Amino acid sequence: MRRIALVVGGVLVVWLAVASVGQRALERKTWSDHGGGPDNARYTTLDRITKDNVNKLEVAWTYPTSDNVSYVWGPIVVDDTMYVLARNQSLVALDATTGKERWVHEGLQGIAPRGINYWQSADGTERRLLFQRYHYLEALDARTGLPVLTFGNQGAVNLREGLRRDVSTVGRAQSSNPGKIFEDLLLLGSATGENYMAMPGDIRAFDVRTGKIVWQFHTIPLPGEFGYDTWPPDAYKYVGGANVWGEITVDAQRGIAYFPTGSPTYDYYGADRHGANLFGTSLIALDARTGKRLWHFQMVHHDLWDYDNAAAPQLTTIQHEGRARDVVVQAGKTGFLYVFDRVTGEPIWPIEERPVPPSDVPGEAAWPTQPFPTIVPPFTPQTLSADDVNPYVLTPEEQEVWRTRIANARNLGLFTPPAIGVDTVAIPGAQGGANWGTTAANPTNGTFYVLGITVPSIYKLSLDPPGRAGGAPAGRGRAAGPAASPGELAAGLAVYQQRCVACHGTDLRGIGTVPALVDVGMRVGPETLREIITGGRLSMPPASLTATEMSSLLAFLASPGAAAAAAPPLPPPATSTTDRGPVVASGGTPGSRAGGARSAGGMVGPDYPAGLPVPSIRYYTDYGMQNSLVKPPYSTLTAYDLNTGRIKWQVPAGGDEPRAVAEGASNTGYPRVRTGIVTTTTGLLFQAGLDGKLRAYDAETGEVLWTTDLPAGSAGIPAMYEVGGRQYFVVNATQSTGAARGNASDGVGGSAPARAYVAFALPVD
């Protein structure tokens, strides 16, 4: 029996070794999936572009978007066709070698902004594009752009249904991210909102042919399900969140899907959800075919800090303790890196439960310990002191104010619970360390890359929702002050039209999942608005505005009726010189309601269901993001060698911040970088930034090997592909930013950037 056991063990070791070799040998030469493939590695084995010739890259073609929209879209490429969002939220099929239009499906306002899914049948006869729009899941024929009416109900599936809540009360359901295709399934998360009584964050798998739900995993467990005892009884009836609004990763060979979840709601006060709260702020490994839980790890117990997992889990193979191990790596908003065996969930290096500070808030029960990874160092700062206050950008008076606030704040480390009426420091805060779009990996050698964001949050709990100071009703939260002048209102409207109208609408009523801004200046205080605008939020990219632009925009948002009377014309968009393709359809599929129900946003939420033992009061806080508080670098690009668990190199990411440079700073990194990165088998790493530049790094050292200007800033995930033996790299350069290059001037009264998708390639011999 002992000999048999040894043989079986030997066979198992050989099988595991073969599996690892199989993973390493996979070719990655297409980009038909958001993130480059099921594993979201942003990695390619195309080898024509190398360290030796990367400086010879030139623009192969440019496709102007012909609008004033700042997209975060990640293009995908199937054979020789590329799919992009352009022309005022239209889905456009392009010739991937020339950028010429093949067809246009117009009027898809409300579409999930970061990308779509492509699926084809095993024999290639069926090809579909699947995407979310206005909280529906829709399907188009990938060849023609026409709706697939056999999918769901007349081409659409209502994502609000099946969530154990009254459909008429479900405000938000769709995620900004596209989900992930596995075989004939679409694996999909959701963005539930962050208010009390938000929707539960169920994970669902839909049949790509019929639209029917194949399986559903309850991240807030029902009675009898694993994890139910980590919540109060009946919590599933009223607690929301614990949702996958970030990026999903699939080990296609093993059929394992990895889902990073966010915090339960309400994010900052959990008196109605005592317990550890599985599966909030966790990494969950599910059987991709059935939805059965294989393993999980909770990064934050009873999350009170909005420390969502949002970045794509990365799959790579490492050499550890003398053998190859296939691992999954999750970068957290905490700034920690969590590394697990891909199959068992065993941590590769110890993760210790350590005591953390208790809460002194009435009714709250902060969890007494939290997980701390060992060996692998964090990639962003996790402490904040007066010495960290930014010596640039802030005036000397502002610097002193912040030093005093930090000295007087509750500041007891990474897991300091928010307090009532006193500042509480959280770093990393609600924005980062890692956020969506910020990770990549070389799947073959244990190298992992992460863009880290350094934006602390300062929380202060109150019985008053943000913008309703002193208990004032909604609409009376704005402090009284001198009325804005007509010129300031007109300037503010001009900024709104250039920077905000594409998502929030000409009438400020929002589009799709984007919240309405009607009376937002009255509902939300100006400082909170300023933080959200400069820091970004969920699908909203951060905006770089001058002090004058910010002041006028806030004045406009506080008084939209007055500003409307002084409306200047919207700057004309760049026009395309490419051949126009046929417009094959307009609007969504017949089964979707144009516009759908909109969420009012905010943090308050409806009342609890009657008869449940829930708190009688609710506490709130602003997001508290302080974007200019910390000294540079504001963001970093970090490479890890996970064979050793150590950092290989770390450099400031995305260029320099112009205001800090003007005051003598260098190597600042660009604020709030959360744009996609791509790495190659030839040892290159590309990053397209909000500063309007594209950079190629040496993946071994972090040295910048090549830089070029883009027509505007970039967000989202670029794509690398090959057609006809020529290798291309395409970048979405559509972001309005003060650092946009070329014929761009983002100030009020200037012209709009020449927004475009730009493809690079080596010269043709």
Q: pLDDT digits over 553-574, tens only?
A: 887 887 766 545 444 444 445 4
Among 264-268, 668-672, 699-703, the range scoring the smallest mean pLDDT is 668-672
Q: What percent of the chain is modeled with pLDDT above 70?
A: 82
Mapped onto helix, strand or coil, the DSSP state of residue 528 is helix
Tokens of 38: 């099921």
Mapped onto helix, strand or coil, the DSSP state of residue 276 is coil
Average pLDDT of the chain, as a whole number: 86
pLDDT at 749: 31
Alpha carbon distance 340, 316 (integer Å): 11
Q: Is the pTM of this model over 0.85?
A: yes
Q: Residue 629 pLDDT more than 80? A: yes
Beta-sheet pairing, 583-586 with 101-106: parallel
**DSSP class of residue 235?**
G
Q: Residue 305 pLDDT more than 80? A: yes
Q: What is the pLDDT of residues 150-175, one digit of tens each?
A: 999 999 999 999 998 887 777 778 99
At residue 144's C-alpha, the angle toward residues 143 and 147, to 5°, is: 115
pLDDT at 678: 97
Alpha carbon distance 419, 361 (integer Å): 6
Q: Are 653 and 669 in contact (CB under 8 A)?
A: yes
Instruction: Identify which of 16-20, 276-280, 593-597, 612-616 has the greatest average pLDDT.
Output: 276-280
- Per-residue confidence band for 232, with pLDDT thresholds at 50, 70 and 90: very high
| Runs of H (alpha helix) within 48-115 | none
pLDDT at 746: 35
Among 25-29, 504-508, 538-542, the range scoring the smallest mean pLDDT is 538-542
Q: What percent of the chain is modeled with pLDDT above 90?
A: 68
Q: What is the pLDDT of residues 526-556, one digit of tens each?
A: 656 765 676 555 456 556 566 677 777 887 8
Q: Residue 509 pLDDT more than 80? A: no
Q: Residue 65 pLDDT more than 50? A: yes
pLDDT at 281: 98
pLDDT at 518: 63
- Report the candidate in 322, 186, 323, 199 with the shortest Cα–Cα distance to residue 262: 199
Q: Residue 401 pLDDT more than 60? A: yes
pLDDT at 467: 60
| Runs of H (alpha helix) within 208-259 | none
pLDDT at 584: 97
CA of residue 617 relative to chain centroid, distance: 32
- In degrees and rounded to multiples of 5, residue 179 shows phi and psi of 90, -165
Q: Are 40 and 678 in contact (CB under 8 A)?
A: no
Burial class (CB in 10 A: 0-12, 13-18, 19+), 695: buried
pLDDT at 504: 72
Q: How many helices and strands in the chain, by DSSP H and E? A: 9, 39
Q: What is the pLDDT of residues 363-399, one digit of tens each?
A: 999 999 999 999 999 999 999 999 999 999 999 999 9
Cα diameter, the chain: 90
The helix-helix angle for 486-499 and 547-558 (nearest 10°) equals: 100
Among 119-128, 545-554, 670-679, the range scoring the smallest mean pLDDT is 545-554
Q: Residue 479 pLDDT more than 80? A: no
- In degrees and rounded to multiples of 5, residue 100 shows phi and psi of -80, 145
Alpha carbon distance 647, 756 (integer Å): 35
What domains are defined for the chain?
16-462+610-761 (2.140.10.10)
- Per-residue confidence band for 763, with pLDDT thresholds at 50, 70 and 90: very high
The helix-helix angle for 526-535 and 547-558 (nearest 10°) equals: 130
Q: Residue 115 pLDDT more than 50? A: yes
Helical (H) or strand (E) element with 408:
helix 396-408
Q: What is the pLDDT of residues 335-374, one digit of tens each?
A: 999 999 999 999 999 999 999 999 999 999 999 999 999 9
Q: Residue 482 pLDDT more than 80? A: no
